[in-house]
Structure 1
Amino acid sequence: MARAARRKATIYDIATAAEASASTVSLVLNGTWARYRIKEDTAHRITEAAKTLGYNVNLTARGLRLSRSGLAGMILPHYRNRFFADLAEAFESEARQRGLCPIVVSTQREEAVEATVTRTLLAQRVEFLFITGVPNPEPLDRLCASATVPCVNIDLPGPGAPSVVSDNRAGARHLTNIMMEKVLRRGGSLEAFLYLGGVAGEYATDTRVAGFVDALRTKDIEPGPQSLALSGYPPGNARDALASYYDRHGRLPSGLFINSIAAFEGAIEFASRLPAAELEEFVACCFDWDPFAACLPFDVTMLRQDVETMMERAFDALKPEPQEDRPLVLVPAVLAGRKAAEL
């Protein structure tokens, strides 16, 4: 005589076995338990009870049994410069080493897109979110906090979460010191220095300007507004700002500090129009890096932001204690410019 088919377990059976309410069991099995602040050990107990009773727990619930969806999220402005592209690559590598599936989305520096993408990634239950290159990350940090999803701000800091950024001020000061030494060797004037690119009021620009000013003040030079051409990020703006300086002074600055690789592109575009003789004594530096700069016909020193260390520190900041403390982690940039070894 055939054995009677075993009755299929229900959520009520699981609730009894796990000593939990049926509603709590339902929230755990449908994957929404973390949103309702159900404790992890409770979720684990319920999923183990479900497994013991032969309940058909779906793949999502199995992942949640370990408090994991397996997804790691990152948003960034774009992939157009090497820094953001390298950050994305380092993030993907670190995430995969941890057994996670990385999701990277560019937002084109549009606030509405940043918010929409963040909500979408949270709805997909990413385990954490890295918020990269967002001038005001605090609203996104709040979205993550509401969903009980850890987040870290990268490149630009915010008070709502741990932040990992390059040490912009120290790096800019070091670059400017190198540039001053080179200009003095050539008998040039430190009074004719120009800072090009970036946005006033933005953290990265403000701290790099501060480092530029720090270095010049060691030589008793007080840079005024005429020494700062904060033209934004579009290369065309930097090209036009440098052209305007040239028209006013009839020459290039003796030392040109360039805020980023985008502004660097604009500076190169303008410099390419000049006779080669005018570039022989020209000295520039850039707080960004591209290996093709080694082929340029003028002296340029560059800093490469240490994306590998930044990403390691960002993953470290996901630990519960730093998440509560919301630290600001400064990562030194790496000297990578042509002729830098001379100093």
Structure 2
Amino acid sequence: MTTPKNDKNPRTTGRPTLNEVARRAGVSPITASRALRGIPSVAEELAQRVREAASELGYVANPAARALASARSQTVAVVVPSLGNQLFVETLEAIHAVMRPRGLEVLIGNSHYSRDEEEDLIRNYLAYQPRGLLLTGFERTESARRMLESSGIPCVYMMDLDSGAGLHCVGFSQIRAGAAAAEHLISRGRRRMAFVGAQLDQRTLLRGEGFRRALQQAGLYDPALELLTPRPSSVGLGCELFAQLMASHPQIDAIFFGNDDLAHGALLEAMRRGVKIPEQVAVIGFNDLPASSFTVPRLSSIRTPREAIGRRAAELLLALMAGQPIAEPVQDIGFELMAREST
């Protein structure tokens, strides 16, 4: 009995190969590979022929095989604490916009603000030998730190700065940003100022620390006016915490919320309760989400450069991957105070 010939692929898997795609498109295998990875050096007419050939054959690239053949993968791994938070989505979009034209695939991991989950993600990604890693912040398990140090894979940290650790990072000073919120409220004549934070990741705690230091320097700090909870941040939680704070400390005249979600909830709860913003209580948020300029009243907030951080971090990682000398391993993108009607 003879085995029927497989016209599509001589391999026992029956899967079409890159060589078959190249032959059908009338190009070399390397050109086909570059076209399918979106590398812009391939002429669009050739790239279109390759894509059509791949579609007709049902070809799907095998990144594991490609990595084995070249002893290097074409992937970059990114780990963020949340995919439900718009600020990280904007950062990821910028990273993808930098990496994709260079033929690199972006693997996205969501740690859910858990150091243990992040450790698992890092372990899994390192097993595939990515070209580079982009991580959020500096707070992680000791095991994760050891894995990163021993891997030898280039890594860039986003959203915060650390000039003393010898790391490559792109972000802004969370402490200075928190201090800017306090200084803004003080300049508006406020004297009984509270800080409200949720989730309590390291960046939230640092901006709270900056706020605290500025109030202490002005002689206005009251530890009773800090309301912190590890619960996930949300608009609904902002409503709840605003009501709780006003019930326990009705004399406060300003609140700095650790992010805009909480501040949006506070504005809604204030409207429901007839609390006048900013006449009775000034409110300032953090991150300046797009909706903040449309709330009633319009929310004052610290604008963070999410897109710029993603772009610059990706560019810095590309330079590290290419072995280029890095003149600025710590890149401070800064932040902007957006003063609006709520203060």
CA distance in 1, matches of 2:82, 2:199: 17
2:333 aligns to what? Answer: 331
Counterpart-to-counterpart distance in 2, 1:63 and 1:272: 61
Counterpart Cα distance in 2 of 1:215 and 1:83: 26
Equivalent position of 1:231 in the other structure:
229
Q: CA deviation at 1:181?
A: 2.7
Q: Does 1:175 align with 2:181?
A: yes
Q: Determine what percentage of the aligned residue pairs are the same residue.
A: 20
Which residue is equivalent to 2:294?
Answer: 295
CA deviations on 1:125-157 (whole Å, 9 max, x unpaired) are 210111125632653342233332122222356
Matched, 1:196 2:196: yes
Match of 1:222 among 220, 223, 236: 220
Contact 1:70 1:127 in 2 (8 A): yes
Give CA-to-partner distance per residue, 1:183-213, whole Å, 9 cap, x none.
x3xxxxx32111111466x542343223323
Given that 1:164 and 1:310 are in contact with CA atoms closer than 8 Å, whether structure 2 keeps it comes out as yes
How many pairs are equivalent? Answer: 270
Q: Which has the larger radius of gyration?
A: 1
* 2: CA distance, partners of 1:91 / 1:321: 19
1:163 equivalenced with 2:169 (yes/no): yes
1:86 counterpart SS class:
helix
Change in Cα spacing, 1:103 to 1:299, as seen in structure 2 (3 Å) is same
Contact 1:279 1:297 in 2 (8 A): no
Q: Secondary structure at the match of 2:287?
A: coil
The one-letter code sitting in structure 2 at the alignment partner of 1:231 is: T
- The structural deviation recorded for 1:307 is 2.1
Report whether the alignment pairs 1:135 with 2:139. Answer: yes
Match of 1:305 in 2: 304
**Cα gap change, 1:124 to 1:265, in 2 (>3 Å):** farther
What 5-or-longer segments of structure 1 have no aligned partner?
A: 1-57, 185-189
Please state how far the C-alpha of 1:226 moved relative to its aligned partner. 1.4
Asked if the contact 1:130–1:152 (Cα under 8 Å) also holds between the matched residues in 2, the reply is yes
- RMSD of the TM alignment (CA)? 3.2
CA distance in 2, matches of 1:284, 1:334: 16
Confirm whether residue 102 of structure 1 aligns to residue 106 of structure 2: yes
- Are the equivalent residues in 2 in contact too, given 1:168–1:207 (CA < 8 A)? yes
**Pair 1:339–1:265, CA change in 2 (3 A):** closer
Given the alignment, which residue of 59, 83, 92 partners 1:88? 92
Distance 1:261 1:135, change over 3 A: farther
TM-score by length of 1: 0.67
Paired residue secondary structure (2:207): helix
CA distance in 2: counterparts of 1:81 and 1:93, whole angstroms: 19
8 Å Cα contact 1:166-1:331 kept in structure 2: yes
Counterparts of 1:157 and 1:170 in 2: how far apart (Å)? 11
The whole-number CA distance in structure 2 between the counterparts of 1:59 and 1:209 is 47
What residue identity is the alignment partner of 1:254? Answer: D
CA distance in 2, matches of 1:136, 1:271: 37
Aligned to 1:60: 67
Could you tell me whether the CA contact under 8 Å between 1:141 and 1:161 is conserved in 2? no
SS in 1 for 2:144: helix
Offset, 1:72: 0.9
What SS class does the counterpart of residue 273 from structure 1 fall into?
A: helix
Measured after TM superposition, the shift of residue 312 of structure 1 is: 4.1
Structure 1 residue identity aligned to 2:249: H
TM-score w.r.t. the length of structure 2 is: 0.67
SS of 1:126 mapped into structure 2: coil
Q: Which amino acid aligns with 1:129?
A: L
Question: Which of 144, 148, 155 lines up with 2:148 in the alignment?
Answer: 144
Unaligned runs of 5+ in 2: 1-64
Q: Distance in 2 between matches of 1:75 and 1:169?
A: 23
